[in-house]
Structure 1
Amino acid sequence: MPLLGGARPPIAALLALLLAVAGATALVLGDRDRAGTDTAVLGSQQRVAEDGALSLRASLDESVTDLQRAAALFAGPEPVAADTALDKLGKVYNKWRGTAVIDPVDGTLLAARGENIPLAPLLKDVKGATGAGNAGKDGKSAGPGELTAPAPQLVRLRSGETRMLVTAPLRGGDRPRLLVASGTLNVPGISTGENRSLLVVDSAGTVLASDGPPVARTSWAKQAARTAASNFTRTPEPGGHPGASGHLMARTGGGDSGDRRTAVGYAAAGRAPGENSPAGGLGLSVITSVKVTGDPAAVRTQAFGLVAAGVLLVLALVVTWVLMRTVQRPLLQLYLESRRLGRGELDRPVRRFRGREPARIGAALESLRRQSLGERPTRTGRARGGFGTRGTVIVCGVLLLAWAAPLLLLLNRAGGSVTVPKQLVEDQRRRTDTAADRVRKALNEGWADVASVAQIVGAGTKGTKNDKDAGSGDAKDAAKDTAADRTVLETTLREHPRYRAVYVLDGDGKVVARAGASPRHPAGRKPYPDSVAQLNTSGKEPAVAAYAAVPDGNGRTVVGEYDPQFLVSMVTRPGLGQVWLVDKKHRVIAADRQHGFRAFSKLPGGHLDSLAAKARKDSDGKAVLHRSARSASLAAAAPFTGGGAVKGLEWQVVSEQPTSWLKLPEYTAERHTMLAGLLGVTAAVACLGWLHIIVIRPLRSLADKAEALAAGDRKTVLFPQHHDEVGAVVRNLELIRQRLARPSGRN
């Protein structure tokens, strides 16, 4: 008996794998009723909610950090008057409904602007934070350095509106003061419609803000809020949502009717472990819901899958039978014949074999049997017993590949005629609009930060810059002011990663103080008016800067140049496809990290240019389903709206996402079909390649050695390479060679 190995394992493995592939084909190509389109729409709602959560958290965090940085800029040896601080704050930022300065020790209101701020819950936390240690025995404050501002908190007004209270210590002088601002908790900047609702809820599911049509039932909102408030466990994609998010299909009318379903997406506006987000501890979540009308289409592939599986099953049985008849059985018979001759049983002739290599080896064994009986060795031509074993394996491989290749390359192709729900096109527009709003707000916030720096820089310029007869003392004061300005600029650059450089220009455009990289303001050009300006239209890197004039500064202007990577981070949104930030002539200023960009290049497609031109003309976001012969894509363009410092830029955000990236039923069927074909190719190549390497090649080599031995070669020692059927035949041939090589020539 031959040892385990040889032809049996690869043939058995091939049969088992092909049967498994046939079963998997019938399984994965089954119909998926009410699943395909729902999955794509639900996934899109989850992405919309994630965009909203990131936008909400970024907006709240920016409000907190803006107030803290503004308060830090007022710090100095001499206290800034409370009214002066609020007036300067109001000139730069208009995001807060009300501002105030209070004495945290006794709760005295020192100054206020805007609406009345509910201070009662805040003062309770402030007293708990400051404690008795802030006042000495003489009743005086122990110093503002010991004052700790409480974390941001939400306050519910009697009118039902929700306010976020933000605090920051206002340092300076010998008595602590607290700067307080209240802001409206608004829903994120996602456009809604007659079918979409947007909610901001707390961890208990209480609706704090909403937009769109009213929601009839909120039980699913509470369920989504509880899920979104769970622990953060996943690593975010670049620019993606770091925490809990998901989707669900809510039924608002009961029953199975397709017109009573609501697709819900939710995402927590919290912070990941180790992430610094002041607003992340508020326990807020964003929930978006959209009505789903009609039953989702399902691609019918069950019959196709059963037919494909049946064909593969027949091919598996045929290929296995052929390999057993042409490879495995001849090998076993050759082993038995060679063992008989090796034992000296020479009375029966060697049987004839079919197949080229078995026939050659059988003819050589018959010649060796006759030589053992006393005949002289004679050189004869090769025996031609028919088709070779290598050819048999190739034919079997071709048969299996003929089944797998069409599945992998041709069948069930979705092409460009795939059915795409209108909801996905609308979601592409909404997400692009949200991205544009996010970039616009970030640029405006950057300008506001620069404007706040200009307020501080301007404080040291009054009374000296306009005095033409200033003497040496004034020159020294000016030098001190420049050094102080540089310190403010360095602090601003360190605390604002959005800038690559911050500097001060005089009225002629000359840099008088700077921090960071080399300024790229055009040489010889006067400063731009208060705005965000595009400094170049060509080159390797786009230059964008925020300009804010110094009050009473004799033309001096503070400039903050944005880091190009900051713009890239603003437009990087997972699940939105390729995203570009373009200027008014459709030149690329930034693009998402995944695809990269070449500065000031054109958009990759005439349809995108046309879409951007139409969106600019109508001043509204546009989206289309662009089809070509072999593919389709969702394209959207959204211009900057809402004004602010970026009003003159006329920039847009353009996005395009191939529909093949969506979880639509046609593409699911295509991927499953390709998977079945790939599995078939893998099984055929692996097992037939295994058979060729382990059996076929040694068998062909064995045929050459057997014919050489029959022709009279008695010096070449034969030894097996593997302990299998071929190796057993080689060992028997070596016994025959040793017997024939003895002087007597016979037993």
Structure 2
Amino acid sequence: MPLLGGIRPPIAILLCLLLAVAATTVLTISLTGRHDVPQATRDSESAIAADAASSLRTSVEAEADALRHATRTYKPAKNAAPSAVVRALLATRPTARGAGLFDPRTGHQSAAGGETLSLVGVDVVAQDHDSHGGDIPARLTRSDGGTPRLLFFSRIKLPDAAKGAAASRRRTWLLVVSEPVSLPPVHGEGRTVRLIDVDGNVLNTGAAGTTAPTAADRALAETAADTAHRGPRTTDTSGSLLGERAAGRRTLAGWAPVVPTGHADATRDLGLTVLTSRQVASSTAGAGHVRFAAVAAAVLVLIALLVTAVLTLTLQRPLLRLHLSATRLVRGAHNVPGADAEEDDLTRPVPLPRFGEPARIGRALESIRRQLTDQAGPARVPSRRRLGSRSVLAVCAVLIAAWALPMLFLINRAQAATSIPAVVVADQQARTQAAADRVRQSLDQRYTDLTALTRTLAGRSPDKDRSPMQRVLDDHPQYRSLYVLDRAGAILERVGAEPLRTITHTPTGSGITTVNTSGRIPSIAAYAQIPPATPGAVAKAHDPVVLFGEIDVRALDRTLSRPSLGNVWLTDQRHRVLAANVGFRAFQTLPDHRLTRLAVQTEGAAGTAGASKSAVLDADAAPIGKQSVASAAPLALSGPAAGLDWRVVSARPAASLRLTAYQVQWRTMLAGLLALSAGVACLGWLHIVAVRPLRALATLAERLAGGDRRTVLYPVNHDETGSVTRSLELLRQALAATARPSGPGARLPVPSATRETAPRS
């Protein structure tokens, strides 16, 4: 018999696969939830640290852009001294602690203001040379008192004093401004945030609410710094660490490096890492799944042994016996010389199997043996068929499905209301608040840019000089268009795309607003009043009054998007969608009424922005998923966006959380799917290579035993079934050669329906 054919390989492989599934069930399910802090909680802390690092990175880049804009638009007096220039520029930056004006060719400092600059480890000449005329990245240093400082660099062109007051030649200087390192905002009760440098030193920023780091904090900071700098630092790099355990609680920390956007080289890296930490409950909630995994695996092992025994006893062993019996009859019928006397003795009856097609073939062989020995005539083929080998396969399939289907659909189903711990819900709320902070930060920055531009436009005629507006549009791709309105609301001049505004009045004051209420794209704009050229002058009807900057909604979409936060929407005061990190229609309502109800709950008393809320949304026919963790947070408590009454709403599918309950559910389903796939594959294989040919062979054997001597039996399969087919063909030839009359029906013509060859399988 061939090694890879026949009836034995499918049965053996089915047994091996089911045993492998049982072992997989034990290994995967029993090892789930063995950690004392769930992986979902660790992932949330890592994401919160990444959000804080992103906020700090945006703040640093905004400060650097603001300094470059201030130096680019600064117009010094002809005879202004370098010290006066430094004092004037310091006045525009209230957070600056000190500044200095340097010659980028020699590094000589010509003027200073505020506290003394500490340039330890900073080479001004090398900084200017390495930037190749482009923007110089910020650097981290420490003041003389050991306080961390951020150094911002910007080039400024001033009249060359060596040429006299009337000289037109301008000289490039390097302005260096020192500012304190501020902590990024984080949310969540009991959570602390620290900044650490490349050596793991905790930077004491002097922010309110921070405490001196303990020895454990310093050890955790050193580990975080080492981990953060071990591999490539990107904007998406983050991780979590576990600290000391005490009184049933454990320190959980998240870390993320502050990496400049679009710059992966180490020369532009600040070397800062954000470290967040808090105390969480320590437990091993998944230890109880070990017993379930052991019981489930034991049941599957019993089913595998039972299925193997059934298939062996009802199919494999009877077929092998038929192969031996048919071979013995052929030797006896053809008088093979040298054969053992017992093997070719036609007088010995054929052992009859008790069930299915093997029993039919055995009875046919016994009838043929009797015909060869002149003991009887052709046998009568029974008209009624009993249960066959397909029933055996069906029973085996039912046994496997009885284990696999409950594992796949019923057992270990996670319920959101009980499976999601409160700390994960609180983390979703904290991250939603962080998303609201990012949106507010982005809108505030757009407002600041526009306010600075209005000072440049004061006294200018926009229709004659569009260069300041075009420069801002080029430097800030977050805008889709900039335009100036007169008192009647007409556009005097614009740069960029065609405005989307449908609200044409001229507002008073400055701030953030929406300039359309319908259409394909929501349009959010920052606006600021343009001061008159002469203080106190009354603007004429066609004088520029208000500068508008329409914000590209795609920029807000990217601001809302953060890894593992789920679907996030920015809604207006009527809870209509203005921006989202998923596809949406302009001004549509939230995709689930429960999200709208959650957003309504965040509304506070009159004159307040309200408070953030979170909830677990259980199974329902909702577009956001069957089970979700949702949260809503007001956009801003202060600033230009404070009066908008906008909300940031998020919803994350609970199944995406790496919680113990959901991990056990997926691994239970995987075990059921593997067992079901193994059963279907192997039983289907067995049906194709054994059961179907066996059914055809049983029919042909009964016809031969019933007197059909004309149908030639062609062996198709090179296995046990093919061997029996070859033996029956030799027996047919022996019966046809003898042509003995054995009964009244022996010489009747064979019906046309029986004149066919053996079917090919």
TM-score (norm 2): 0.81
Measured after TM superposition, the shift of residue 329 of structure 1 is: 1.0
Matched residue, 1:591 = 580
Matched residue, 2:511 = 531
Greater C-alpha radius of gyration: 2
Q: Residues 33 and 660 of structure 2 are in contact (CA less than 8 Å); yes or no, is this contact kept in structure 1?
A: no
* Residue 573 (str. 1) matches residue 562 (str. 2): yes
Measured after TM superposition, the shift of residue 60 of structure 1 is: 1.3
* Residue 165 (str. 1) matches residue 158 (str. 2): no
User: What letter corresponds to residue 531 of structure 1 in structure 2?
Assistant: G
User: What letter corresponds to residue 340 of structure 1 in structure 2?
Assistant: R
Gaps of 5+ in 1: 134-144, 462-480
- Find the partner of 1:154 among 121, 132, 140: 140
SS in 1 for 2:437: helix
- Find the partner of 1:250 among 226, 237, 243: 243
Measured after TM superposition, the shift of residue 154 of structure 1 is: 1.9
Q: Structure 2 CA distance, aligned partners of 1:736 and 1:75?
A: 114
Q: Residues 380 and 711 of structure 1 are in contact (CA less than 8 Å); yes or no, is this contact kept in structure 2?
A: yes
Matched residue, 1:215 = 213
Q: Residues 149 and 178 of structure 1 are in contact (CA less than 8 Å); yes or no, is this contact kept in structure 2?
A: no
Q: Deviations over 1:606-625 (max 9, x none)?
A: 44334323323163542334
Q: Which 10-residue stretch deviates more, 737-746 or 665-674?
A: 737-746
Matched residue, 1:307 = 295
Measured after TM superposition, the shift of residue 524 of structure 1 is: 4.0
* Residue 341 (str. 1) matches residue 329 (str. 2): yes
Q: Deviations over 1:392-413 (max 9, x none)?
A: 1111111111112112211222
Q: Residues 617 and 630 of structure 2 are in contact (CA less than 8 Å); yes or no, is this contact kept in structure 1?
A: no
Q: Which 10-residue stretch deviates more, 98-107 or 154-163?
A: 98-107
User: What letter corresponds to residue 182 of structure 1 in structure 2?
Assistant: S
Q: Structure 2 CA distance, aligned partners of 1:56 and 1:501?
A: 27
User: What letter corresponds to residue 308 of structure 1 in structure 2?
Assistant: A
Q: Structure 1 CA distance, aligned partners of 2:273 and 2:619?
A: 42
CA gap of 1:322–1:644, structure 2 versus 1, over 3 A, is same
Q: Deviations over 1:196-248 (max 9, x none)?
A: 21101111111223654543231111111111122228xx8xxxx522x2212
Q: Structure 2 CA distance, aligned partners of 1:569 and 1:79?
A: 46
CA gap of 1:111–1:12, structure 2 versus 1, over 3 A, is same
CA gap of 1:378–1:147, structure 2 versus 1, over 3 A, is closer
Measured after TM superposition, the shift of residue 427 of structure 1 is: 1.9
Q: Structure 1 CA distance, aligned partners of 2:140 and 2:447?
A: 27
- Find the partner of 1:688 among 659, 683, 690: 683
1:705-716 aligned at under 5 Å gives the runs: 705-711=700-706, 716=711
TM-score (norm 1): 0.83
Matched residue, 2:589 = 602
1:151-230 aligned at under 5 Å gives the runs: 151-158=137-144, 160-171=146-157, 173-191=169-187, 193=189, 195-208=190-203, 209=205, 212-217=210-215, 218-230=218-230
Q: Deviations over 1:322-349 (max 9, x none)?
A: 1001111121122222223333254444
Q: Residues 64 and 152 of structure 1 are in contact (CA less than 8 Å); yes or no, is this contact kept in structure 2?
A: yes
SS in 2 for 1:300: helix
Q: Residues 319 and 358 of structure 2 are in contact (CA less than 8 Å); yes or no, is this contact kept in structure 1?
A: yes
Measured after TM superposition, the shift of residue 303 of structure 1 is: 2.6
CA gap of 1:109–1:454, structure 2 versus 1, over 3 A, is farther
Matched residue, 2:639 = 644
Gaps of 5+ in 2: 159-168, 334-343, 534-542, 621-625, 742-761
Q: Structure 2 CA distance, aligned partners of 1:541 and 1:262?
A: 46
User: What letter corresponds to residue 448 of structure 1 in structure 2?
Assistant: T
CA gap of 1:714–1:292, structure 2 versus 1, over 3 A, is same
Matched residue, 1:475 = none
User: What letter corresponds to residue 598 of structure 1 in structure 2?
Assistant: R
Q: Structure 2 CA distance, aligned partners of 1:745 and 1:501?
A: 105
SS in 1 for 2:171: coil
Matched residue, 1:454 = 454
Q: Residues 440 and 646 of structure 1 are in contact (CA less than 8 Å); yes or no, is this contact kept in structure 2?
A: yes
CA gap of 1:508–1:159, structure 2 versus 1, over 3 A, is farther
Q: Which 10-residue stretch deviates more, 303-312 or 433-442?
A: 303-312
CA gap of 1:329–1:291, structure 2 versus 1, over 3 A, is same
1:293-442 aligned at under 5 Å gives the runs: 293=281, 295-298=283-286, 300-343=288-331, 344=333, 345=344, 346-370=346-370, 372=372, 380-382=380-382, 386-442=386-442
* Residue 545 (str. 1) matches residue 525 (str. 2): yes
Measured after TM superposition, the shift of residue 84 of structure 1 is: 8.4
Q: Which 10-residue stretch deviates more, 326-335 or 647-656?
A: 647-656
Measured after TM superposition, the shift of residue 12 of structure 1 is: 0.9
**Matched residue pairs, number?**
695
User: What letter corresponds to residue 590 of structure 1 in structure 2?
Assistant: A
Q: Residues 325 and 350 of structure 2 are in contact (CA less than 8 Å); yes or no, is this contact kept in structure 1?
A: yes
Q: Structure 1 CA distance, aligned partners of 2:416 and 2:128?
A: 66
User: What letter corresponds to residue 306 of structure 2 in structure 1?
Assistant: V
Matched residue, 1:121 = 119
Matched residue, 1:10 = 10
Measured after TM superposition, the shift of residue 676 of structure 1 is: 2.6
Matched residue, 2:60 = 60
CA gap of 1:102–1:735, structure 2 versus 1, over 3 A, is same
Q: Structure 2 CA distance, aligned partners of 1:84 and 1:116?
A: 13
CA gap of 1:542–1:719, structure 2 versus 1, over 3 A, is farther
CA gap of 1:700–1:540, structure 2 versus 1, over 3 A, is farther
Measured after TM superposition, the shift of residue 436 of structure 1 is: 0.6
Measured after TM superposition, the shift of residue 502 of structure 1 is: 2.9
Measured after TM superposition, the shift of residue 589 of structure 1 is: 1.5
Matched residue, 2:659 = 664
Q: Structure 2 CA distance, aligned partners of 1:443 and 1:364?
A: 90
Measured after TM superposition, the shift of residue 252 of structure 1 is: 6.3
Q: Structure 2 CA distance, aligned partners of 1:379 and 1:281?
A: 93
Measured after TM superposition, the shift of residue 693 of structure 1 is: 2.1
Q: Structure 1 CA distance, aligned partners of 2:31 and 2:135?
A: 59
Q: Structure 1 CA distance, aligned partners of 2:734 and 2:689?
A: 29
Measured after TM superposition, the shift of residue 437 of structure 1 is: 0.5
Q: Deviations over 1:365-414 (max 9, x none)?
A: 34444555679985833476743111111111111111121122112223
SS in 2 for 1:648: helix
User: What letter corresponds to residue 688 of structure 2 in structure 1?
Assistant: I
SS in 1 for 2:451: helix
User: What letter corresponds to residue 679 of structure 1 in structure 2?
Assistant: L
CA gap of 1:177–1:191, structure 2 versus 1, over 3 A, is same
Q: Structure 1 CA distance, aligned partners of 2:739 and 2:177?
A: 114
Q: Residues 196 and 288 of structure 1 are in contact (CA less than 8 Å); yes or no, is this contact kept in structure 2?
A: yes
Q: Structure 1 CA distance, aligned partners of 2:30 and 2:19?
A: 17
SS in 1 for 2:277: strand
Matched residue, 1:514 = 494
User: What letter corresponds to residue 153 of structure 2 in structure 1?
Assistant: T
Q: Structure 2 CA distance, aligned partners of 1:507 and 1:351?
A: 109
* Residue 614 (str. 1) matches residue 614 (str. 2): no
Measured after TM superposition, the shift of residue 441 of structure 1 is: 0.4
Q: Residues 49 and 275 of structure 2 are in contact (CA less than 8 Å); yes or no, is this contact kept in structure 1?
A: yes
Q: Which 10-residue stretch deviates more, 700-709 or 14-23?
A: 700-709
CA gap of 1:289–1:122, structure 2 versus 1, over 3 A, is closer
Q: Deviations over 1:511-544 (max 9, x none)?
A: 3433332111226433564222112233332111
Q: Residues 504 and 514 of structure 1 are in contact (CA less than 8 Å); yes or no, is this contact kept in structure 2?
A: yes
- Find the partner of 1:623 among 587, 602, 613: 613
SS in 1 for 2:498: coil
CA gap of 1:521–1:602, structure 2 versus 1, over 3 A, is closer
Q: Structure 2 CA distance, aligned partners of 1:59 and 1:340?
A: 92
SS in 2 for 1:634: strand
CA gap of 1:149–1:311, structure 2 versus 1, over 3 A, is closer
Q: Structure 1 CA distance, aligned partners of 2:144 and 2:3?
A: 88
Root mean square deviation of aligned Cα: 3.7
Identity, % of aligned positions = 39
SS in 2 for 1:267: strand
SS in 1 for 2:299: helix
- Find the partner of 2:271 among 263, 283, 302: 283
SS in 1 for 2:239: strand
